[in-house]
């Protein structure tokens, strides 16, 4: 199977089968049946794409119910360190983070279920980052956590002096002050 479970329940790495030859390559970046067979039954409603340069850090972002959002994230150009934090208060891994290098070269994708804060930092000169979402953006349901919270102790793999962070992301609350993600959904 092209899926690998992580230590955080529901968070799954997807490595598609890539066929390559002297013309280039081909792969299915998403197939609903393949995901359902792996137990990931989600209906995506929106695709987003962002272009950034080296050092740009976006995150840590999430939305609370009823606009909580699952994502399938990948990189079309360049390389990022992708980071998620479990914010599901009923989860045994609440407050734990996970990071992975996603790149155009490795073609790995990360399925981020509802209940995770998400962010990434660009490690290459340019990055094109794409993600499928299972809910629509709702500014009134948006939440965030400051990227450098000492409790989370995330190693962003880029020197602090190189980071380019929006004013909004510089003002996010600490983990113990973030907008709570209360969900009736069970955590497996």
Burial grade of 110 (CB within 10 A; 0-12, 13-18, 19 or more)? buried
Amino acid 183: pLDDT: 58
The top-level CATH class assigned to 43-177 is: mainly beta
Query: How much is the pTM?
Result: 0.93
Measure the CA–CA gap between 145 and 179, rounded to whole angstroms.
9
What are the residue numbers of the active site?
A: 61, 131
The domains of the chain are located at: 43-177
Q: Are 128 and 154 in contact (CB under 8 A)?
A: no
What is the average pLDDT across 24-38? Answer: 93
pLDDT given for residue 179 in this prediction: 74
Identify the weakest region by mean pLDDT among 5-9, 26-30, 112-116, 179-183.
Answer: 179-183
Give me the mean pLDDT over the 130-143 stretch: 96
- DSSP β-bridge partners for residue 86: 116
For the stretch 140-187, pLDDT in tens is 999 999 999 999 999 999 999 999 999 999 999 999 998 776 554 545
Task: Output the six-digit token pair for 94.
Answer: 């609440």
């Amino acid at each position: 199977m092209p899926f690998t479970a992580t230590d955080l329940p529901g968070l799954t790495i997807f490595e598609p089968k890539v066929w390559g030859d002297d013309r280039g390559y081909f792969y299915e970046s998403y197939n609903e049946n393949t995901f359902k067979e792996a137990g990931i039954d989600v209906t995506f409603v929106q695709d987003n794409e962002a272009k950034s340069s080296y050092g740009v850090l976006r995150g840590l972002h999430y939305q609370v119910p009823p606009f909580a959002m699952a994502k399938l994230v990948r990189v079309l150009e360049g390389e990022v360190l992708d980071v998620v934090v479990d914010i599901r208060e009923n989860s045994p891994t609440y407050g734990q983070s996970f990071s992975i290098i996603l790149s155009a070269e490795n073609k790995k994708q990360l399925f981020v279920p509802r209940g995770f804060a998400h962010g990434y930092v660009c490690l290459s000169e340019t990055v094109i980052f794409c993600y499928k979402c299972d809910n629509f953006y709702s500014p009134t349901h948006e939440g965030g956590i400051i990227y450098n919270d000492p409790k989370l102790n995330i190693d962003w793999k880029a020197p602090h002096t190189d980071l380019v962070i929006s004013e909004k992301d510089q003002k996010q609350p600490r983990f113990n002050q973030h907008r709570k993600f209360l969900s009736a959904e069970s955590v497996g």
